[in-house]
Amino acid sequence: MINSRDIRIEGKHQKPILADVFYNDDKSKKPIVIFCHGYKGFKDWGAWNLVAEAFANAGMFFIKFNFSHNGGNAEQPVDFPDLEAFGNNNYIKELDDLEIIINWVTSSGFEFKNQIDTSSISLIGHSRGGGIAILKAAEDSRITKLITWASVSDYKKRFPKGESLEIWKNNGVMYIGNGRTKQQMPHYFQFYTSFIDNEKRLTIATAVKKNQIPYLIIHGTEDPTVDVQEGKQIYAWSTKGELFLIKGADHVFGVKHPWNKEQLPKHLSEILQKTIDFVSL
């Protein structure tokens, strides 16, 4: 297997996007799979490298990347050395980053173009990244299959309301604690205003209903972060959707960061095989 890590791609918003590619150099044209990480996530979180290897071993060209404003940087792509960037992130920037990745992999100058089949591009999104994958799939005809793992169904309902929203507006920033790194992670008020200014484009329900490509919706029944009802709601909106519930699975399907084992946990192994089979159809 070949992997190329921390490839620096020029972003649209003054920060680079770091990407990894995994594939087996068997001279065949491979379906492309692009993975979008979630909130407080990054491409090297937990067992994502093992996931990448599994897709490559299944005959796919796998790409994972850091959103440009996820809080990492080119020198330290793991965790969150750049909290200022994190605070200035928003959904539009993430959609732009994903479009840049798609443009990069489909460009005539793509370094690995002899390895890929650009007529087969699947998006996978986890958690908040699931929403980004849904939105992009609905607006980009190059995407041929969509898979979400524990995806959110509604961005708007996650914002503060009432007095909490007013406090955020007046202060210009609110902080969310990161239990693992112990950082207080900022969200500047632009995160909210950017959503309101682009609400029509960023409404997940609209995108799901518009989607006309095969769509696999995966959710754990014991997800404490994004309730399983959100996965069921997405399925109810969809016309091309297949719902796959993992009994007893949590939000990260049994993984944590760091993940120092060579084996994947049971629930992640299940969703991985289901996803590989779906992409291979």
- pLDDT of the chain, 281 residues: tens digit per residue: 899 999 999 999 999 999 999 999 998 999 999 999 999 999 999 999 999 999 999 999 999 999 999 999 999 999 999 999 999 999 999 999 999 999 999 999 999 999 999 999 999 999 999 999 999 999 999 999 999 999 999 999 999 999 999 999 999 999 999 999 999 999 999 999 999 999 999 999 999 999 999 999 999 999 999 999 999 999 999 999 999 999 999 999 999 999 999 999 999 999 999 999 999 99
Long-range contacts of 221-226 (CB under 8 A, 24+ apart): 221/245, 221/246, 221/247, 221/248, 221/249, 222/248, 222/249, 222/250, 223/150, 223/249, 223/250, 223/251, 224/250, 224/251, 225/127, 225/150, 225/250, 225/251, 226/127, 226/150, 226/151, 226/152, 226/251
Task: Tell whether 174 is covered by a domain.
Answer: no
Write out the two tokens for 242. Answer: 């297949």
Task: Tell whether 178 is covered by a domain.
Answer: no
Task: Tell whether 102 is covered by a domain.
Answer: yes
Task: Tell whether 172 is covered by a domain.
Answer: no
Sign of CA dihedral 212, 215, 221, 225: negative
CA dihedral 86, 79, 55, 101 (to 10 degrees): 30
pTM of the model: 0.98
Task: Tell whether 177 is covered by a domain.
Answer: no
Regarding beta strands 145-149 and 61-66, do their DSSP bridges make them parallel or antiparallel, or are they unpaired? unpaired
Number of domains making up the chain? 1
Alpha helices in the chain (DSSP H): 48-57, 83-87, 91-106, 128-139, 162-171, 190-197, 204-210, 228-237, 266-280
Task: Tell whether 192 is covered by a domain.
Answer: no
Per the omega criterion (within 30 degrees of 0), is the bond before 77 cis?
A: no
Task: Tell whether 184 is covered by a domain.
Answer: no
Task: Tell whether 187 is covered by a domain.
Answer: no
Q: 184 has which bridge partners?
A: 177
The one-character DSSP state at 81 is S
Q: How large is the greatest C-alpha to C-alpha distance in the chain, in angstroms? A: 59
Domain range holding 16? 2-165+200-280
47: which residues sit within 8 A by CB, 6+ positions away? 255, 259, 261, 264, 265, 268
Which CATH number does the domain housing residue 79 bear?
A: 3.40.50.1820
Write out the two tokens for 197. Answer: 């200014």
